[in-house]
Structure 1
């Protein structure tokens, strides 16, 4: 079940509202989710449409994935790459700065389009990984970037971590935008990436399954005992 709070600016017309709710309806239908309610409002608090969602569901106690259950030696798998949403947002909001820094209009547009391709949904990757018995946790890092997401997982399990930084996927568009604005992609808004924690013995097969589904993924590190 899904509840949505939709906030619209004063300039919104009926067509704009219908478009947003049409997208919500189509996406929920594609995932087998029921849109059961929420709240809709026109407000001075926003200057563009904003939707906040809350998902409800049922799960057996034995089916819960909790980061605290991660073990030393478990590996970290990253899908899609980092800072996908952050790159797209900067391309939208800092267009002039990026053009002045030397990026072309096509490069800025390509960065902006990351919001649509590959997009920021982690559902396809999560669906592929869900059946693995050695899966300990799934985490969709957002604010604070990929590094904050990894720290959150390790902290919940009372563990440390070791990373292979060169294995962390950074898309060309992200590299260009971050270089132009002197930003670290490791700390940039990371929506679109999925972090999976799982036993080493299943990691290779999981990577193969993701690849077969057309989802880029790499093993970027492992959890270790905390000093």
Structure 2
């Protein structure tokens, strides 16, 4: 496995991109930053535009429908951190030359279907077919939303004293994708019941509903910031949010939501569920008095939400409390999911 698999590190970002993002324009209020999901551009009449981009997936073990679903939801999750739903999308597809017209029509029909369901108008993009293209990354997508400047959230807005909440659970996408990629292994090692539950977690990867529900409360007494969980897992996402907002944090590991299914599947692949790719969970920071209101609001829609820590002053650092002992939360630049996946693949696991 290449040392460069997965997202670039924070150090790579600083070395390669910091201060090298073209012309500085005053209306860009949030540009490329560590731990920030979207870019924000101020428009006229007190409006702002948020944009987010992500790779698009074409994964044989998932199939065309689920690849399209994953692609749309992962970009939409970034926009959801603003507290608003995506409105417009640009889709770029660079597909294998041997990809049939029938498969393309099926694949695109699912993009149309999932974007329509989320209220996204596809406004353009690019489609091409390339010899030698055999990657599971089929291109890239950008989603856009427009809302009032003073209502749009970013992960930079968390404040000391805020509670830290996690929706659903840890390692949602890791567990779902590993179960679907290595079904025989997961059935044999974790059991058929946990295999089926793990596969079903794939349909929990969207965080748009909980984001909109949480921010439907009065912002003055409610949500201050959100950050969707991706590489680095729940712990990595909390670390990123703390850095983005120039704060510290204390996280209680025994409060992190890990179901038996997530634990059992991660154990098969020697993974810690709190540290690996966890799309499907949202980190929410909020005022202490809003914690129970938000948890109750989400529970009405059968979305679990757990308080796991608190935002602190930056001087206190980012800490992980394990069994009553606090230590520095170590940020993993490389998500362990990738090593586990390729190790299983190379070992011929089925």
- TM-score w.r.t. length of structure 2: 0.59
C-alpha root-mean-square deviation of aligned residues, in Å?
2.1
Following superposition, the deviation at residue 184 of structure 1 comes to 0.8
Following superposition, the deviation at residue 122 of structure 1 comes to 0.7
Query: Among 107, 120, 124, which residue is 1:20 paired with?
Result: 107
Which residue does the alignment assign to 1:57? Answer: 145
Q: Secondary structure at the match of 2:279?
A: coil
2:35 pairs with 1:35: no
Of stretches 1-10 and 124-133 in structure 1, the one that deviates more from structure 2 is 1-10
Q: Secondary structure at the match of 1:45?
A: coil
Which residue does the alignment assign to 2:304? Answer: 216
Once the two structures are superposed, residues 43-70 of structure 1 have per-residue CA deviations (whole angstroms, 9 ceiling, x without a partner) of 3333557353211122222122132221
Q: Is the 8 A contact 1:144 1:188 kept in 2?
A: yes
Q: Is the 8 A contact 1:6 1:49 kept in 2?
A: no
- Higher RCO (C-alpha under 8 Å, 6+ residues apart): 1
Which residue does the alignment assign to 2:216? Answer: 131
Which residue does the alignment assign to 2:91? Answer: 4
Once the two structures are superposed, residues 197-224 of structure 1 have per-residue CA deviations (whole angstroms, 9 ceiling, x without a partner) of 1111111111110001221111111111
Structure 2: tracts of 5 or more residues without a match: 1-87, 317-350
Following superposition, the deviation at residue 103 of structure 1 comes to 2.9
The total of aligned residue pairs comes to 224
Q: Is the 8 A contact 2:187 2:194 kept in 1?
A: no
Which residue does the alignment assign to 1:91? Answer: 179
Q: Is the 8 A contact 1:7 1:46 kept in 2?
A: no
Following superposition, the deviation at residue 93 of structure 1 comes to 3.1
Which residue does the alignment assign to 2:263? Answer: 175
Following superposition, the deviation at residue 104 of structure 1 comes to 3.4
Which residue does the alignment assign to 1:143? Answer: 231
Q: Is the 8 A contact 2:164 2:308 kept in 1?
A: yes
Structure 1: tracts of 5 or more residues without a match: none
